[in-house]
């Protein structure tokens, strides 16, 4: 695999030499007409963070920024992190490491499949070393790495190389360094739109992006996080886990709803694909099924039920992740 050329990374290297504040300023806030929402007198504005970079759309680079700085400070030259077959996080991390001419290691939950996912093939092409682990090993390694205990020698054996100069990025890119870059998205947003009578809406996985934006929020602002997970009676503990990531009193009002329609994380239905088709046909903006499509679907449902007063603005953060569309043969791959 390594003799394949690296995908062009100079545009990414350029991006990484700038601050998240400057990235966010360049992404347009687009006013969109989409009848299931806008026919109810609701204004729909989409912050196009999906346009950040052709291979690295969305929030994952924002979450990585603080970790890259911390790695630099620690003089680490190898990033190690965790994820599944379709991880947007590992995908972004492998490109960022390649652009910085660092190395990267991905610990993958699950056995090595006959055919790698498009996501993991990209990671390998960027020079990421993949180590496939059973669920038990994966959890064990994650716990060791996060408690900054030595990683087991068996990992060195699997990799065929000694581990040194390593910086561990938590699964999903969270923790305090992950929050900082997400706050920058909030600051740029405030310069693009008046957030009175508006709700900032975004899809949540670990909740780090939401937590980062809430950290940079102000009194009077409102947020709605739509979880890509089916939480049921764990909604309260999820809410607490978002709060725990934030070390200040949250200035804004905020709420969370979960995926109660599609059966949980990364689960899809024909209805969801129909919805994606409808949204894309009417707006020309692509969605992916795990996060952003479920977000817009839920917002359409709430708008239809009169959840917001006429004239209210929904400011939707398009968190990107469009590389993940390749896991769904029914969806056309994004142009790059
Ligand atoms: C990872 C991801 C999210 C969720 O971000 P968290 O910080 O984990 O909540 C939302 N949208 C997309 C497209 C993502 O890839």
What's the rounded Cα separation, in Å, for the pair 90 and 120? Answer: 8
The model carries a pTM of: 0.94
3-state secondary structure (DSSP) of residue 64: helix
Q: Look at residue 136 and give its three-state secondary structure.
A: helix
Of all protein residues, whose CA lies closest to atom 14 belonging to ligand 1? 321
Pocket test for ligand 1, best of 58, 174, 287 (most atoms within 8 A of CB): 58
Q: Which of 274, 273, 257, 268 is nearest to 290 (CA)?
A: 268
6: Cβ–Cβ under 8 A, 6 or more apart, which residues? 98, 125, 126, 127
* CA gap 169, 80 in Å, rounded: 6
Give the tokens for residue 55: 């291979």
- Grouped pLDDT means (10 residues each) for the chain, 336 residues: 55 93 96 98 98 90 96 95 96 96 96 96 96 94 78 82 88 89 93 96 97 97 96 94 94 93 91 96 96 98 97 98 91 66
Distance CA 34, CA 40 (A): 10
Q: Are 226 and 202 in contact (CB under 8 A)?
A: yes
Does any ligand 1 atom lie closer than 6 A to the CB of residue 295?
Answer: no
- Confidence (pLDDT) at 7: 56
Q: Is 203 in the pocket of ligand 1 (CB under 6 A)?
A: yes
Tokens of residue 102, six digits: 């660092």
Q: How far apart are CA 96 and CA 109, in angstroms?
A: 21
Give me the pLDDT at residue 149, please: 64
């Amino acid at each position: 695999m390594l003799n394949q050329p690296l995908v062009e990374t100079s545009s990414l290297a350029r991006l990484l030499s700038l601050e998240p504040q400057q990235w966010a300023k360049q992404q347009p806030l687009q006013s969109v007409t989409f009848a299931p929402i806008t026919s109810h007198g609701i204004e729909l504005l989409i912050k196009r963070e999906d346009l950040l970079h052709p291979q690295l759309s969305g929030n994952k680079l924002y979450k990585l920024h603080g970790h890259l700085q911390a790695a630099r400070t620690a003089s680490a030259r190898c990033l190690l992190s965790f994820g599944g077959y379709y991880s947007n996080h590992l995908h972004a991390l492998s490109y960022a490491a390649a652009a910085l001419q660092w190395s990267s290691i991905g610990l993958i939950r699950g056995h090595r499949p006959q055919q790698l996912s498009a996501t993991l093939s990209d990671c390998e092409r960027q020079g990421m070393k993949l180590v496939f682990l059973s669920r038990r090993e994966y959890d064990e390694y994650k716990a060791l790495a996060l408690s900054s205990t030595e990683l087991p020698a068996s990992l060195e054996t699997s990799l065929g190389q000694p581990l040194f100069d390593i910086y561990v990025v938590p699964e999903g890119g969270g923790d305090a360094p992950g929050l900082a870059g997400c706050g920058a998205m909030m600051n740029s947003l405030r310069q693009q739109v008046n957030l009175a009578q508006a709700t900032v809406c975004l899809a949540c996985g670990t909740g780090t992006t939401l937590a980062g934006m809430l950290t940079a929020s102000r009194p009077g602002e409102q947020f709605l996080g739509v979880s890509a997970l089916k939480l049921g009676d764990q909604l309260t503990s999820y809410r607490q886990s978002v709060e725990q990531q934030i070390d200040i009193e949250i200035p804004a009002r905020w709420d969370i709803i979960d995926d109660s329609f599609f059966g949980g994380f990364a689960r899809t239905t024909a209805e969801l694909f129909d919805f994606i088709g409808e949204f894309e046909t009417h707006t020309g903006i692509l969605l992916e099924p795990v996060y952003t499509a479920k977000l817009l679907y839920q917002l359409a449902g709430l708008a239809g039920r009169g959840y917001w007063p006429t004239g209210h603005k929904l400011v939707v953060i398009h968190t990107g992740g469009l590389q993940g569309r390749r896991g769904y043969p029914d969806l056309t791959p994004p142009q790059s």
